[in-house]
Every structure is written in C-alpha cells, then in structure tokens.
Structure 1
C-alpha cells in the first residue's frame, strides 16, 4: 500500500496528555489496545447546577471563556415520554466543565445567548440539537465530531471509538443507556457525563487537522453550516403508521384499531411521563388489531395482554378496539399513500428499464468516487437524490442541469462539485 492509499482509519492520531498537541503516531495496530483509560475529569466531577443562582454563575463563567464550547446532552430514551434533556454538559477553555440539570433549570436561553458567538462542538449533533433547542440553546456555528470522522474516513465514529483511535484514550461507556431522569444522579453517572465533554475540543482540533490534510475541511464546514441552519423537523403525519410490525396490518379496520390503540397509549404515556413502550408494546398493538377481539376476555388471551394486565387496563384497550370496530367505512384510515418520488428500485427493471440502467451506472460511479475519496457514499450524495435524478433526469442532461437538480434536492456545493459531472455521464450514456 502506498502513502497515498493510506486511509485515516489506518493511522492513529494522538494528543499526548502532557502536551495537549496533535501528533500522528505510527500505524501500529497494537496502539489501540494500549489506549489509556480516562477515569476522572481533569478538574474532578463538577457540581450539578440546579438553581437559578448557580446557573447565573455558569453563564458568567462561560461567557468569559475562550474558544469553542463542547456541548452534550443526556436523555432518558426508553424510560420517559419524549426526548427532553435531563442533563447538559459543557466545557470551555478557561472555565472547565459544567453539569446542568434542566429539571431545576428548565430555561437555558441565557446560557445559549452567552455562548452564541462561539463554535459549539457536539458529537452526532442532530441527535442533541432538538432537546437543546427545547431548553433555549441553539448554536449559530458548530463542529460535529461524528460527521467529521465520517468525512475523514474513519470506519468507527462512535464517541468512544473515535476518541480511542484519534486521541489514544479509552472512555467508559457503561452508562449511555441509563435513566437520566433519575434524581439524584449517581456519582458514576456524573463522572461518565463529565468525561463525555472532557476531550471533545481536543478531538475537534485533531479531526480539523486531519480534514485539512485530506483537503476536506471546507466540505466539513459546509456540512456543519447546513446542520446549524436546518429548521426543526415538523411533526410526523400519522405517527401511528410507524408502529413496529405495521406491515402485517392490511385491512383498513385493522388499521383503525392500530390508530385507536396507539392514540390511547400515547395519551397515557404522556400523562404518566413514561416511554410508550412501557405502557403497551408495539407487538401487542399489532396482535390486537389483527385479531379485533370482541371482548376483554378474548383480548386477554393475546400476546402482550397476559395475566399482568389488570381488568381496568384491559377494558380501556378493548374500548379502543370497539371504537375501531364501530367506525363507519368512510372514517376508516386509508392505506398509506405512496411517498412522492420514484418507486422502489427493485421495480425499475419492469417499469422503466432505461431508468434502471441509469441507476446502475450512477450507483457504480458514486461508489467508485466515494472509495477514492475515502468517505461513505451517503455522505458524498444521498441515495434518495441519486434515485430521483435517475428516475426523472433533466430533459437536457448537462452538468449545469444536473447541478441545479442536486441543489434543489439539498445537496451542498462540495457534493455538487464532486458528483455532478460523473452523474451527468451516468444518465447521458444510458438515456432512453
């Protein structure tokens, strides 16, 4: 393998503890197993900020800090209703780390304003931004270390894996899926939370250097700007249709039963502030919808409605099914409407052989380019955009027309520059 063929994943970037400066180490595969366990935050576990007075001190301190701000949030997915933040962690040069309790301090807009001009460093930013936005924190600039790792060609981009590979430290990840709504939070959890932001800024610096070395730093900046500028996602239409196992439900009255059961479950979960799955599993909803039992006794015999389901609970679920059974035909839900756009690619050969040929050529070209650039295909250009282009290409398949098509479908300029010429060739060669 030549030096030019060496990938970022074949090297191990390290930030030695004593210097704090990036350095490229050898490609020795044994280095990763020699990663240094990171057991304690360097200033110790910070106190949890849970009062308005303590929050005011944190705001003042972070406003006076310098450089980027590492930001992370912990949710209680699988335990509580919704995706609210139950702990927010921050770190900045000149300040150190802070742990903030959004239950005691539900409005962090003053903190968000205090660091609004700074670059925020997050890992997998799109996961945390919605819950941060809900408590008043929205960045204007950000650096996503997970996305940076993808663009740099790292095969494993989870926080623990990339910190180990890039910085040479092993993070303890045993508390990632705990119930962060627990109060008081146990000390080991707080230590874990503080360590999640301990090295984020160091990681950012090392990844920035690597992206710059590969000539991809401007690409990353475009991606980060698009994330920061993206509006909040709209509420899902008919969220009950996403019930796991819904593909088994074919009849409209069965669909109505899923809808009724899902809505009842959602109201109960919201009122009790627990995960909907802890109220009633998706599998139980689907089984009840398929069977449409006539009474609570029949319902109790179905999977998910066993002996632990009380009489009152059985009656409320049966009432939902009864409502679905009684609905007039005109009020039954329609089968889900096809999503606008091309059909599934497996049907293209029969529906439009020329489009199938275009897609095959385009996929091969994108795959080859992604390999040569050492990044995932989906980060080079989204597969959905490629499918739409191949299904309905511009009437005149010029590079300019393809570039305009890609831009209209959300592609960033760097993606357009890289893919428009090869996609134009793909759809032109096989044009009908």
Structure 2
C-alpha cells in the first residue's frame, strides 16, 4: 500500500476540504505540470499542506473544479515557491489566493546566492531536499511513489521556511518591500497572446526573405495545430531546427522534403503530407510577413552605441548607479528594477527627466513604489551627469 494516496474522487476531495478547514495557519501549495511533454500547461498534481491537517495530493484532471476548496482557503495566506509559475494553472481549476508568500522571491530580496527551493531549504532549515523529479512527466498515471514523496516534501517544508524568512525580512528591514512584491505577483495580468507567435522559432534569424518566412509561419501553425490536438509539446513532434531548415531550403516537392536530412523528429515522416501542405501554403501565400517583427521591442543594448549613442550613455550610467545600490542593499539588480523598465526610460526619457517624471514613467511600466523610491533619483542624476558631460565642449587644440 503506497504511503501517499492521490485524491482522485469527489468524496475524497470533499473529505480533504473538511480536514483542511480544521487546520491552522498558512497554506503550503505547489503544482506539478508536464512542461516539455504536453502542449497544455495545466496542473497534473496539486499538493497542499497545512499545520494541523496534513498533506493532500490532488489529481486535477480527475477532480476538475476546485471551487469548494478555494472557498475554504482563499482568505488564508498561501505559501508558494516561484508563485508566478504556478498561479495560472491553479487559477485554471478555480484556486485563486488573495494573499501569498513567495519563498523564491523572498530569497531574492534577502540576497541569497541561490534561490532554488532545494538550496534555500538547505541553507535556512538545514534539510537536504532532493529535486530529482522536478522535470518529470507529471501527466504519467499512476504516479510512482518516489514522485509522490518528492511532491509532498515540496509543500511540507514551506511553512517552516516561510517563518524563517519572515524573521530575516524583519531583520533586514525588507518586510514592506516583500509585501509589495508579493502583491504585484498576485495582481500581474497574464501576457496577451503574441500577434505573431511563430516568430519565436529558435533560429528564425537565419531565415531570409519574406517567402521563406511565410513558409516558416505555415510550418509553425501546422505543428502547433497538431500539438494541440495530441496535447504534446510541439518540439517533441518536430524540433524548431527542422522547421527552420525547411524554410531556408524551400523543398520543391514532397520527396525533396522527405530527403532533407535536417528535417527530423518523431512526426517528421509520419505527418509528411501535413508538412508538405504547409510548405505549399507558404509558397502560395499572398500574405507575406514583414522581414522584421512588429511590436514595441527595443533594439538589444549592444546595438545602442550605433543606433542611439545618447541612450547608450544614459543606460550605462544609470545601470552602474543601480548596480552600486543593488550591492549595498543586497537585492539583485533585476529585482531592484526590472531591466526592461530601465532600458525604456533610458531609450526615451521623459521631458524633463527629473526624479518625479522618471518615477511616473516607471510607475506606468509597472514598477513598485519601493523600486521607484530606490531608483528614480539615481536614474535622474545619472541622466544629468551624462547630459552635462556630453555637452561640455572639448578643449581647443593649442
């Protein structure tokens, strides 16, 4: 008889809710997906631990909707590690917290050198937590006992870890910062679907010409459609490199496609007609994509010196100033201020570029109050220094 039972019936689910209601304190919660194996990002196992109640392992595909459980625990604080990775799949089944404590985010704010759950638990609690099943295919049924042991430990240690971190946050005067960050994670809206998701094909930069890009697009759409139908990760059908290779070569016949050595993958030959139709559609399409992607993406900073030298100087000066305060506060630079926020105000600063207008610009981008208070003045000062330095005329040659 396995030690860990997976709750996969409604009666057992309702009984677990009653037990969780009798517990005390915050809710340790985690979800396991099958990323890299399935197309969907749904949860295939949800683990919950609460002091006084115990550990519960739920089978979401079998249970379906978790609204009754959410009604009981939504008002409690939920402890998650890297909450942004799990909130979407939890909300998909009706689990939506109102307060969270994110142990991964807290570890970053505390300046811990490594923030994976295993290393944080070992450093703060002195317990070795093996992570050998983190990349497993959790859509597997039945789930092996060793996987269930791993999954249970992921949540059973969260309340103790949270308590330890609360003390450290108080000692380092970072409680308010953490509260703002946790609230921001909860409030963050899902990213809208990309207008041209096919442009994320790895290696697409090597495809030249609109016709070739049209073929790449149609191949991506064909693969994505099949992946959704089968609920299989697209790359497991045909890898990106194969689609890109076919788009570069533009095979002139089904046979030529079959003979293309670089076009491989487990569905590359069994679905050959599908891929050939996609190539034909791309070759015949009147809707040719632009060579460059649409959107508001900025050029990579390495290109700024040539494309916008003043922005390049602003960015480098501001980044140096923020790096210094990041080290002083023992907060990683990317948590002190989202890198894209700094790039955007450096590329096109507000007029005039003073602490107030820069703070307003950062707020519009989504920066938290504590981030603005810590960085707006430094950024403004760096911009002024760059402007004054670049405006000083050079000494005349004597």
TM-score grouping bracket, smaller chain normalisation? over 0.9
User: Normalised by the size of structure 2, how large is the TM-score?
Assistant: 0.93
Change (3 A) 1:364 1:318: same
Q: Do structure 1's residue 80 and structure 2's residue 38 form an aligned pair?
A: yes
Report the counterpart of residue 373 of structure 1 in structure 2: 329
Does structure 1 retain, via aligned residues, the 8 Å contact 2:238–2:268?
no
1:152 — aligned with what?
Answer: 110
Runs of 4+ in structure 1 deviating by more than 4 angstroms, as ranges, are 306-312
SS of the residue aligned with 1:137?
A: coil
Deviation at 1:348, TM superposition (A): 2.8
Alignment match, 1:122: 80
TM-score by length of 1: 0.86
Runs of at least 5 residues in structure 2 that lack an aligned partner in the other structure: 392-398
Deviates more, 1:393-402 or 1:104-113: 393-402
**Separation in 1, partners of 2:265, 2:353:** 64
1:200 to 158, 170, 182: 158
Match of 1:267 among 202, 215, 225: 225
CA distance in 2, matches of 1:384, 1:311: 42
What residue in structure 1 maps to residue 282 of structure 2? 324
Q: Bigger shift: 277-286 or 352-361?
A: 352-361
Q: How far 1:344 sits from its partner (Å)?
A: 2.9
d(CA) in 2 for partners of 1:306, 1:275: 15
Describe the shift of the 1:401–1:240 C-alpha distance in structure 2 as closer, same or farther (beyond 3 A).
Answer: same
Seen in structure 2, the aligned counterparts of structure 1 residues 316 and 221 have a Cα distance that, compared at 3 Å, is same
1:56 equivalent to 2:14? Answer yes
Task: Provide closer, same or farther for how the CA distance between residues 312 and 377 of structure 1 changes in structure 2, counting only shifts above 3 A.
Answer: closer
SS at match of 1:287: helix
1:414 equivalent in alignment to 2:370: yes
Alpha-carbon separation, structure 2, partners of 1:170 and 1:116: 31
Q: Is the 8 A contact 1:219 1:414 kept in 2?
A: yes
Shift of 1:342: 4.4
Q: Would the aligned equivalents of 1:129 and 1:138 in 2 still touch at CA under 8 Å?
A: yes
* Residue 228 to residue 105, structure 1, CA distance change in 2 (3 Å): same
Distance between the aligned counterparts of 1:50 and 1:67, measured in 2? Answer: 25
> Are 1:257 and 1:321, in contact at CA under 8 Å, matched by a contact in 2?
yes
Note the aligned Cα RMSD (angstroms): 1.8
The verdict on how the C-alpha distance between 1:150 and 1:109 changes in structure 2, with shifts beyond 3 A counting, is: same
Does residue 163 in structure 1 map to residue 121 in structure 2? yes
Superposed displacement of residue 56, structure 1:
0.7
Quick check: 1:357–1:430 contact (8 Å CA) kept in 2? Answer: yes
- 1:230 paired residue among 188, 193, 197: 188
| Equivalent position to 2:95, from 133, 137, 148 | 137
User: How many equivalent pairs are there?
Assistant: 387
Q: Once the 2 structures are TM-superposed, how far is the Cα of residue 305 of structure 1 from its aligned partner?
A: 3.7
Determine the C-alpha separation between the residues in 2 that align with 1:309 and 1:145: 40
Per-residue CA deviation, residues 376-409 of structure 1 (Å, 9 max, x unaligned), is 1010011211122122222223222222121111
3-state SS, counterpart of residue 171 of structure 1: coil
Aligned to 1:70: 28
1:183 to 125, 137, 141: 141
| Partners of 1:75 and 1:83 within 8 A in 2 | yes
Deviation, structure 1 residue 357:
2.0
Partner of 1:405: 361
Give the match's secondary structure for 1:85: coil
